[in-house]
Amino acid sequence: MSKIDSHSTHDAEQDARNENILIYVNGELVPKSEAVVSVYDSGFMLGDGMWEGLRLYNGKWAFFDEHMDRLFNSLKSVSIDIGMGPADVLDILNKTADANGMTDNAHCRLMITRGRKAKPFQHPGLSRFGPTIVAIVEHSKPSQSLQAQGISLATVPQVRGLPMSQDAKYNSHSKLNCVIGCLQAEQAGADEALMLDPHGFVNTTNACNFFIVRRGEVWTSTGDYCMNGVTRQKVIDLCRANDIPVFEKNYSLYEAYGADEAFLTGTFGAQTPVAAIDGKMIGTGDRTMTQRIRDLYKDLVFRNTGA
Ligand SMILES: Cc1ncc(COP(=O)(O)O)c(C=O)c1O
């Protein structure tokens, strides 16, 4: 395998302005150096919270409704009541972006936890002071070199598992499962992890959804054991709308290694090409389908945000 420089799907161009941003913390906009939460916070102590990653294009948060649908469904599932609705969240995001003079190429990590605890123990009832809400909005332009070069993946022992342990659909603060996968991949000399499902079928990466292109068809996992990614669903919908055969199905590494193209999807990087899996180069380097889907997605974002 030819050498591929080390990358992550969240590689962004350096932007010095991010050192001086204002961060939303529980109703206040505070300088980055002063943006802190309590060491008693349930997110810090237990990973007990939910987050969303959203992107700002032309002053509008792309696919905002879809992100809010997932967030509020997740919060309801773990009984975190933030006492506000999507319109209030939109106000927080817009206020934070405005305070930082951002209208485009910005990325938000919105984090909501069960909040500060009265004692340093697990019981959720100890979070008595209301939820903690933080929005970090940074200037963010995905690295262009990643598009040209692609990312390398290694299959890892860590799986994204069954919904009755910790449902992979939770965008939970605790990402330990994914972090372990990523470490295993890094230690195997790859950029990120390709994680299987409990039956050994190809599932997801540690931070993005995973697709292959085989003989003119686009395949992704069934969706039973991975994040219900907003970008994943948009890609599936775009394929359907543009007569590109797309299948959510079980498949193994056999089909992944022999794919013509492979790519990842996520809000940050949209579609990121995969160069190699387990040291095997994917396809010939011709990424016609990935590029077509990228163009369709770009157009969809344009229509969604009026960008
Ligand atoms: C494990 C995992 N898969 C996939 C995604 C991509 O989801 P989306 O397309 O909604 O950004 C994320 C991002 O939150 C993730 O953490």
Q: Confidence class of residue 245 from pLDDT cuts 50, 70 and 90?
A: very high
Q: Is 305 in the pocket of ligand 1 (CB under 6 A)?
A: no
The percent of residues in the chain predicted with pLDDT above 70, rounded, is: 97
Model confidence band, residue 195 (pLDDT cutoffs 50, 70, 90): very high
Q: Tokens 């990523």 appear where? A: 182
Of 192, 15, 174, nearest in space to 104 by CA:
15
CATH 3.30.470.10 domain range(s) in the chain: 16-139
Residue 8: the pLDDT is 76
Instruction: For residues 214 and 208, give the distance between their C-alpha atoms in angstroms, rounded to a whole number.
Output: 20
CATH 3.20.10.10 segments of the chain: 144-305
Close Cβ partners of 92 (under 8 Å, ≥ 6 residues apart) = 24, 110, 133, 135
**What is the dotted CATH code of the domain comprising 16-139?**
3.30.470.10
| Ligand 1 close to Cβ of residue 290 (< 6 A) | no
Tens digit of pLDDT for each residue in 262-295?
Answer: 999 999 999 999 999 999 999 999 999 999 999 9
Q: Are 69 and 22 in contact (CB under 8 A)?
A: no
CA of 207 to the centre of ligand 1 (A): 6
Separation of CA 267 and ligand 1 centre (Å): 7
Which residues, listed in sequence order, are joined to residue 53 by a DSSP beta bridge? 109
228 lines ligand 1 (CB under 6 A): no
Q: If pLDDT is split at 50, 70 and 90, which confidence band does 1 have?
A: very low
The closest of 174, 190, 193, 171 to 182, measured between CA atoms, is: 193
> 3-state class of 125 per DSSP?
helix
Least confident among 11-25, 71-85, 111-125, 237-251? 11-25
The Cα–Cα gap between 60 and 102 comes to 10
Q: In this predicted model, what pLDDT tens digit does every residue of 145-158 receive, in sequence order?
A: 888 899 999 999 99
pTM (predicted TM-score): 0.95
Name which of 25-29, 141-145, 156-160, 253-257 the model is least confident about.
141-145
- Between CA 23 and CA 152 the distance in angstroms is 33
Residue with the smallest CA separation from ligand 1 atom 1 is 207
Residues 6, 190: Cα–Cα separation, whole Å: 7
Task: For ligand 1, atom 15, name the residue with the nearest CA.
Answer: 207
**Architecture, CATH, for domain 144-305:** Alpha-Beta Barrel (3.20)
Average pLDDT of the chain is 95
C-alpha 251/C-alpha 204 separation (Å) is: 12
Which residue CA neighbors atom 6 of ligand 1 most closely?
266
The confidence score (pLDDT) of residue 13 equals 75
